[in-house]
Amino acid sequence: MTQRSLKVALLQETDRGSREANLDAIEAGLREAAAAGAQLVLLQELHNGPYFCQHESVDEFDRAEPIPGPSTQRIGALAEELRLVVVASLFERRTAGLYHNTAVVFDRSRAIAGKYRKMHIPDDPAFYEKFYFTPGDLGFEPIDTSVGRLGVLVCWDQWYPEGARLMALAGAELLLYPTAIGWDPADTQDEKDRQRDAWITVQRGHAVANGLPLLACNRTGFEAGPEGGRGIDFWGSSFVAGPQGEFLAHASTHRRELLLVDVDLARSENVRRIWPFLRDRRIDAYADLTKRFRD
């Protein structure tokens, strides 16, 4: 089968202290990616500012913006100028009192090619997202672009095999996860290692189970907690996996980094021929998956 190579880039960044500073860093990263020949660039989750969900405060809603809005205008203009497909991640203000954690895709144009609103919303210590985000209502629908059908999901979605599977069943050619995840500084090193390894392993499993390349872009750096909280040490480790879960590229834990790698999209066809998981699914026996729990 003919190789179908796609050069992808993941921009692993820290919070630079303001929306404008973060967007300036993104612009620099996009320009560097384009100069290196990238066709698709994935940004980290909520890249415009700090991970504000460490606490619950109504003042944080001031960070939200409409889509389209100022950030999509700036990133879209760069996507058009640099001829890039860009996957961005924004705090969306839909209307007063209705907000989403939303991924936005640009296809070498300032026009928005598609959106995905985060479906699974966590509510854990230092990750109080249910206070801010309404669960997504756009479903698990891939977004068509000039480089392929993108199965875009967001962070907490990456722990759920159902989301990746539904994207694959809808024809996604890649799975992409903008992410913000890190360690509690109070945890032991063994616990930190287990958490990071679990995060990597579950996503590699999605690549294997669906025979698709997978891109996960995480933020890096320590972000202090508000009101005396311990903060979060974001563990970076952005990576690209192939359709057998093999690492194609892997970023560091504590450094800003532009990760660049060539992905052969045609390999998915070959992998699915030798591992025909979609063929052997017992769809006649899966009705209980729609239940919360089998009592």
Burial classification of residue 186, based on how many CB atoms lie within 10 Å of its CB (0-12 exposed, 13-18 middle, 19 or more buried): exposed
State yes or no: pLDDT of 270 exceeds 80. Answer: yes
Tally of CB atoms within 10 A around 4: 15
Per-residue pLDDT band at 259 (split at 50, 70, 90): very high
Task: Give me the mean pLDDT over the 186-196 stretch.
Answer: 97
Query: How many CB atoms are closer than 10 A to CB 18?
Result: 12
Residue of 118, 129, 173, 257 with catalytic role: 118
pLDDT at residue 228, rounded to an integer: 78
Task: Give percent of the chain with pLDDT exceeding 90.
Answer: 97
Q: Is 155 a catalytic residue?
A: yes
Q: How confident is the model at residue 45 (pLDDT cuts 50, 70, 90)?
A: very high
Q: List, for residues 103-145, the tens digit of each pLDDT value.
A: 999 999 999 999 999 999 999 999 999 999 999 999 999 999 9
Q: In whole angstroms, what separates CA 165 from the centre of its chain?
A: 16
Contact present, 222 and 233 (Cβ < 8 Å):
yes
Superfamily, domain 5-290:
Carbon-nitrogen hydrolase (3.60.110.10)
Residue 21 pLDDT > 90: yes
Return the minimum-mean-pLDDT range out of 1-15, 146-160, 270-284: 1-15
Nearest to 44 by CA among 217, 253, 257: 217
The catalytically annotated residue of 13, 60, 115, 155 is 155
Work out the mean pLDDT of the chain and round it to a whole number. Answer: 97
**Distance (Å, whole) CA 38 – CA 56:** 38
Residue 155 pLDDT exceeds 90? yes
Read off the pLDDT of each residue in 164-187 and give the average, rounded to a whole number: 98
Residue of 237, 247, 163 lying closest to 199 (CA atoms): 237
Asked if pLDDT for residue 3 goes beyond 80, the answer is no
Q: Is the pLDDT of residue 2 over 90?
A: no
3-state secondary structure of 202: helix
Burial of 164 (0-12, 13-18, 19+ CB in 10 A): buried
> DSSP states of 212-276 as a string?
--EEEEE-EEEEPPGGG---EEEE---EEE-TTS-EEEE--SSS-EEEEEEEETTHHHHHHHHS-
User: Which residue has better confidence, 62 or 295?
Assistant: 62
Q: Evaluate if pTM is beyond 0.95.
A: yes
- CB of 36 within 8 A of CB of 53? no
**45: annotated active-site residue:** yes
Contact 108, 85 (CB under 8 A): yes
The answer to whether residue 17 scores a pLDDT higher than 70 is yes
Tens of pLDDT along 209-252?
A: 999 999 999 999 999 998 878 999 999 999 999 999 999 999 99
The predicted pLDDT at position 229 comes to: 84
- Is the confidence at residue 1, as pLDDT, over 70? no
